[in-house]
Structure 1
């Protein structure tokens, strides 16, 4: 499992690096308004994607006994949901123009909606590969689709596609991914849809649908509200600030997403209890991601100016608050995967709904037209959901509260003081350094201090760090 995780981490981060390079390139070609128009359109499609999938792919990943008849039923349900989602989004595209007061939204929505007709051809084989945690075949598809998407995006941008750049590139990527996933499958799929097992799939899918809808609405909320309360330019700035914070997630999430549900589902089927595995996996994820959010918040100015240029300067002040929001959500990142793995995706609906509602109320109360006030409101809203997520892991995963507190607090005994020292040095000793030097040298020192600190305390990630250090010859293994 460790070898598979390491391989997937490398593969996903090569793809992440390519997509990040693409973001930097497009930031130099496209304007904030171009990005804002696409972002406003993409959030609508994101919501529709939840209905299109209806939890079918998640069901395939966690189902204990997957028969050919059950798979046929899943294919039939996914095709039906995808076709309905396409019709609704394509037909409603003109109405979103009046909502956003932006005429270019219609064309973007229509092109993105076309992808719904093709996505099932890649989604089903992808879910089957993830179910078996087949890193090698998935990596091949990831590599091919990443390269095609990169050059398609740059090509459309240079050709003057403007706000349509990502829409057309996305459609090309869907086609390529669908062909590639079917090509690498060990056995050819029989694309024969049926009604078999729909009752069971719909039972699981209804809970997954609502929880996924909450997550998608939460991701879409900033662009929708800011697009309504402000303009496409500010939506573009916010999108760039948010994508800067999401660099952390881009590094970790693909690997977590690939393994979490199938691995936790298999553990649940074998042991019937997930509390210990949940605490261990959550501690490792938090140990990696939370200090990374701290670094992004401190180095926001340098990151934005070096990667995107001065036209995105307005995004800087929002990044610390968005880092706080992302960190608050990360603490319970594994909870959603864990309850899905035990077949109860509905368990996180309440805390997700509370977070969403709290963000809406906070924005209405705190937003004064600035990016800082908007981002602050989102962070406040996210933190309101923490007690409710804690209740979920206690209720459904049988996690002991005191054990959770210890597991969560222990790593912070390292990254909080290191973060404070780094913040002080960043604004004093490194104040006259070139931005690139701050990022590379300061960032390397920050990471080294964090890793050294983790080696000194008894937390799950310590054993994983030790294994890596032994593997690369930095320290000697136990005899």
Structure 2
């Protein structure tokens, strides 16, 4: 199988896994959002940072090093496995000890027990991290999908039972905990690789020297990604954190899934052609534009139809999240651009520059956060968008220089897609507010979305966008 065929097959199965798992997850979350209170989701949002840091410390740079490295043997995998396991246990012990202080910070006593149980997830995940990395490195996304979905179905069933029995926030804890536990068991027994428990200092230094910079960068990113939930949780209340968390998760449903699914294919694919600048540049450009072509209209439709979407999915008790959701959607449009530009730095082995840029951007974010805090919740959200725009120019400048694809050229290629999605949004807004606003929420969503997609595809065909033609060719070949 050629590299192109392997990448296409990997993309299909990666999308199947990503969308399959997220559709199941999303459907269950809708049920849980109707059964639970916003503040119960807010409690999980308050401690998301600790879960993120725990996962990153053992599953960040070291596994990335495995994916991009050639000529690996069992000692490489076993060394990383042992490191992952020891770090996950160490981090968990620290979080267990400091859980009461976390609860005191948020003035939420229940968080002591919730934190201690919830963060067990990354200890369970450590047992299957290398097995999962091997599947990603070999682009065996079909097997990865077939192993992931059963674990998710079991965890969703457990969460629904907990919610039905009235366990509140523990339903969300049970869902995450059971998912990581069951998935690790499945990966352990389904994988042909088993750790030999041989640890090589030489192998460790090799992967650590590459990976620790990415890990530190990821930790910085997680801290400052969750800084808004920390600030909101400390100075507002759990309900507002719940609205913010739910709004962010709803936005990330299309944005994160499309980007992450393709990212799993892009990293090993780009790694294969990292020394061929022209091929890497063309592959990056085509992938980025296709992702934007798919994501932009979805996010714009969600922004314009935020009110009926919220009430239809979560009921009226979640309506306060609508203005929050609209601002977050604007930031979401830029998410894939950050992801793929930073991916170039990883592929090129510039984890040092990656870390330096993350430190600089976090200093910038701190300044913007400090200023925007004085303008309340909406000031914080607009500040988040302003930071995302600044960060985009920084990422595109450095990554673009590595592959001969400057910020100016990237923007010129992207602007038509943003303008097209914006025009579609204006048309849908007029349609919804002047003709369809008296209909039931479900009909408003269906009719506006249908008209929006027709307008978007029609204009794309009229202007002969390359991304539409490329997607059309892919479908015809399949």
Matches within 5 A, 1:55-454: 55-185=61-191, 187-196=192-201, 197-268=203-274, 274-367=280-373, 371-454=377-460
Match of 2:470 among 448, 464, 467: 464
Q: Which deviations, in whole Å up to 9, do the C-alpha atoms of 1:331-377 show, x marking residues without a partner?
A: 23211222222222343334444444444433433346754333222
Check if 1:35 corresponds to 2:41: yes
More displaced stretch, 124-133 vs 424-433? 424-433
Q: CA 1:307 to 1:346, structure 2 compared with 1: closer, same or farther past 3 Å?
A: farther
* Partner Cα distance (2:365, 2:436) in 1: 36
For the residue of structure 2 that corresponds to 1:176, the secondary structure is: helix
* Alignment correspondent of 1:20: 26
Q: Which deviations, in whole Å up to 9, do the C-alpha atoms of 1:210-250 show, x marking residues without a partner?
A: 22112212321121111112111111111112122122224
- 8 Å CA contact 1:16–1:250 kept in 2: the answer is no
Match of 2:16 among 6, 10, 24: 10
TM superposition shift of 1:283: 1.3
TM superposition shift of 1:426: 2.1
More displaced stretch, 115-124 vs 14-23? 115-124
- 8 Å CA contact 1:75–1:194 kept in 2: the answer is no
Q: CA 1:53 to 1:404, structure 2 compared with 1: closer, same or farther past 3 Å?
A: same
- 8 Å CA contact 2:77–2:195 kept in 1: the answer is no
* Partner Cα distance (1:81, 1:19) in 2: 28
* Partner Cα distance (1:300, 1:346) in 2: 40
For the residue of structure 1 that corresponds to 2:47, the secondary structure is: helix
* Partner Cα distance (1:193, 1:111) in 2: 31
TM superposition shift of 1:419: 2.1
Q: CA 1:453 to 1:272, structure 2 compared with 1: closer, same or farther past 3 Å?
A: closer
- 8 Å CA contact 1:61–1:131 kept in 2: the answer is yes
Check if 1:48 corresponds to 2:54: yes
More displaced stretch, 58-67 vs 132-141? 58-67
Unaligned runs of 5+ in 1: 473-479
TM superposition shift of 1:433: 2.4
Unaligned runs of 5+ in 2: 1-6
* Partner Cα distance (1:54, 1:17) in 2: 26
Aligned length, in residue pairs: 471
For the residue of structure 2 that corresponds to 1:244, the secondary structure is: helix
CA RMSD of aligned residues (A): 2.2
- 8 Å CA contact 1:242–1:319 kept in 2: the answer is yes
* Alignment correspondent of 1:477: none
TM superposition shift of 1:169: 2.3
- 8 Å CA contact 2:308–2:442 kept in 1: the answer is yes
- 8 Å CA contact 1:75–1:191 kept in 2: the answer is no
Q: Which deviations, in whole Å up to 9, do the C-alpha atoms of 1:81-129 show, x marking residues without a partner?
A: 2222112111111111121111111111111232333222211110100
TM-score (norm 2): 0.92
* Partner Cα distance (1:458, 1:211) in 2: 39
* Partner Cα distance (2:445, 2:415) in 1: 27
* Partner Cα distance (1:176, 1:167) in 2: 14
TM-score (norm 1): 0.92
Q: Which deviations, in whole Å up to 9, do the C-alpha atoms of 1:4-57 show, x marking residues without a partner?
A: 312332332121111111111111111111111111122222123222335122
* Partner Cα distance (2:121, 2:200) in 1: 24
TM superposition shift of 1:155: 1.4
- 8 Å CA contact 1:302–1:439 kept in 2: the answer is yes
Q: CA 1:200 to 1:306, structure 2 compared with 1: closer, same or farther past 3 Å?
A: same
